[in-house]
Chains A and B, each alone.
Chain A
Amino acid sequence: MGKMKALEIRGLEVTFRAGRRPPVHAVRGVDLSVEENEVVGFLGPNGAGKTTVIHVLLGFIEPSRGEAMVFGMDVRRSIARQRIGYLPEHPQLYRFLTGRELLTYSGRLFGLKGGSLRDAVEHMLEFTGLGEAADRKISSYSRGMMQRIGIAQALINDPDLVILDEPTSGLDPLGRMEIRRMISDLKARGKTVFFSSHELSEVELVSDRVVILSSGKVVAEGRIEDLVPAGKRLEQYFVELVSDSREAVG
């Protein structure tokens, strides 16, 4: 029996319709798969459809066509999210809760209870270095602390697949380095990471593979060394590829 794919998308199409306005084809027939214990960078210019694909994977949006599976389960079933950890871009969290309360709440939603819940909360507070701020309201947290508590709530269930939407967006170099270290750590622990980013230098450093999306279609997919010609940087390759694909669509 073959190894189960952590994530598999087949023929995915998403079209948004709003009243009499013309429909918006956000995703046009995307096929992609991610193996277990892979780190995959999901790239594309603004409006390419990256966040829409991620939102389909998390059940926020239903596909117009095609299917998406996580560990062999249809993403439209809530149980499919049991093994997923998700960090949105600029995580927005309940500001009236303390960090500890938020993590306890997140853990309970994953079905954790009793000693295992307490252990998971303490472990995540220690992992993100928020131990001292654990009983402070989130409204008093700095931007970096918000990002860290966002990471903690995403990893509270020790997920097998971690989905990160622009995790380094708006972070200082130290924050970006912490995210990079976290991704490497997750990979070392056998986890699968699927993340979207505009920081191509970061992507180069941590990804096993990249998927490049433009105008709702996958325009390139593979290992960076296989895709990028010798002597070129990923950024240069990306700009040329996206410009070409836009011209083709236009």
Chain B
Amino acid sequence: MIKVLSIARIVWLEMIRRKDFYVLAIILAALLFVLLTADVFGLGSTPRYLLDSGLLMAWSASSVLAVFLVGRQLPSEERDGTIFPLLAKPISRGQLIMGKWLGGWLACAAATVVFYLLVTATAVLREWSPHWLTLLQCWTLHVCGLAVMAALALALSTRLTYGAAATTALVIIAGSVWMLPQVPTLTMYASGWRMDAMLLLYYVLPHFELFDMRRRLVHDWGPVDWTILARIAAYAALLTALLLVVAWLSYRHKMFRRSELL
């Protein structure tokens, strides 16, 4: 476990020392400031509107961070040649995969805390009284979703280039968030292989909408039952484990040739 944690710590240090996180945090803060000061159609004074927009931006920023931070880990090790001294140490490919995912996920979870603090502080300035338990549940499920996103990006990056892995992961995530909830309705108008294909996608692709509690928080519907939260967290754990196994299977026999990499 110490080896996995050591690899994870390096991913964490990388996030702290690179500009990605700071850029995202500054962009989020700037957009929130604009929302706070602008008063388009009188919505600027509505805390729910501000909270809804802010949380959407926090979701987008953390998803981008998870995909790009974790998705670049293995390809950049290979491109830069740092994979050689790393794999020359007594670590298995499985430990490498676990360490990269864990480091990336924890770094994104910490970044999400900062994003939520920014959004909450802005909404409080508009006299929103936060329901802390719902906020905590919202963050918890969000972080569960990030675990799946990070594992997805990592699994894709074992065989694809950084750009291809990140793009594919973002397309899958966006498709899952926007399209999958519509599939049950669409199947009513489809038949034959089209319906089968839609149902296959519905059951195979990750349901990221399950991790999204923003509406409960924005409309003050109160916290969800803890058993439901636990089930969704278990679903995230299962999906993450599956994706990490896929990543390991894809990476365990991968060959590294200097002439190809440098």
Chain A residues proximal to chain B, CB less than 8 Å: 16, 51-52, 55, 58-62, 78-82, 84, 86, 88-94, 96-97, 101, 105-106, 108-111, 113, 150, 153-154, 163
Contacts and interface: CB of A to CB of B under 8 A. Distances in A.
A81 B255 CA distance: 17
A105 B83 CA distance: 14
- Majority DSSP secondary structure for residues of A touching B: mixed
A106 B90 CA distance: 10
Given A61-B257, A111-B3, A92 B81 contact: yes
Given A84-B88, A97-B10, A109-B90, A60 B3 contact: no
B230 interface: no
Contacts of A78: 90-92, 95
B257 A55 contact: yes
A81 B257 contact: no
Nearest to B84: A88
26 contacts: A51-B258, A55-B256, A55-B258, A60-B84, A60-B87, A60-B255, A60-B256, A61-B255, A62-B253, A82-B90, A84-B88, A86-B84, A88-B84, A88-B88, A91-B85, A92-B80, A93-B82, A94-B10, A94-B14, A96-B14, A97-B13, A108-B3, A109-B7, A109-B86, A109-B89, A111-B2
B6 interface: yes
A93 B83 CA distance: 9
A67 B9 CA distance: 35
A79 B82 contact: no
A109 B92 contact: no
B161 to A, nearest CB: 16
Contact of A59 (B2, B10, B87, B257): B87
Given A96-B13, A109-B6, 18 more contacts: A58-B84, A58-B87, A60-B255, A78-B92, A80-B90, A81-B90, A86-B84, A86-B85, A88-B84, A89-B258, A92-B84, A97-B13, A101-B13, A108-B6, A109-B86, A111-B2, A150-B85, A154-B85
Given A88-B81, A111-B2, A96 B17 contact: yes
A58 B90 contact: no
Nearest to A83: B90
B231 interface: no
Contacts of B6: 105, 108-109
A86 B80 contact: no
A61 B83 CA distance: 13
A58 B81 CA distance: 14
B177 to A, nearest CB: 32
Which A-B residue pairs are the 8 nearest by beta carbons? Answer: A92-B81, A86-B88, A109-B89, A108-B6, A60-B256, A81-B90, A82-B90, A78-B92
Interface in B68-100: 80-92, 95
Given A62-B253, A92-B82, A113 B89 contact: no
Contacts of B256: 55, 60-61
Contacts of A79: 90
A90 B255 CA distance: 20
A208 B90 CA distance: 28
A18 to B, nearest CB: 9
Given A55-B256, A61-B256, A96-B18, A110 B89 contact: yes
Interface string B1-27: 011001101100110011000000000
A150 B13 CA distance: 20
Contacts of B13: 96-97, 101
Contacts of A84: 88
A109 B258 contact: no
B82 A58 contact: no
A34 B173 CA distance: 52
Nearest to A81: B90
A89 B81 CA distance: 10
A111 B2 CA distance: 7
A88 B83 CA distance: 11
Contacts of A94: 10, 14, 82
A81 B89 contact: yes
A153 B84 CA distance: 12
Contact of A109 (B14, B91, B253): B91
B10 A105 contact: yes
Contacts of A163: 88
Query: Which residue of B3, B17, B82, B89 has the most chain A CB atoms within 10 A of its CB atom?
Result: B89
Contacts of A91: 85
Nearest to B7: A109
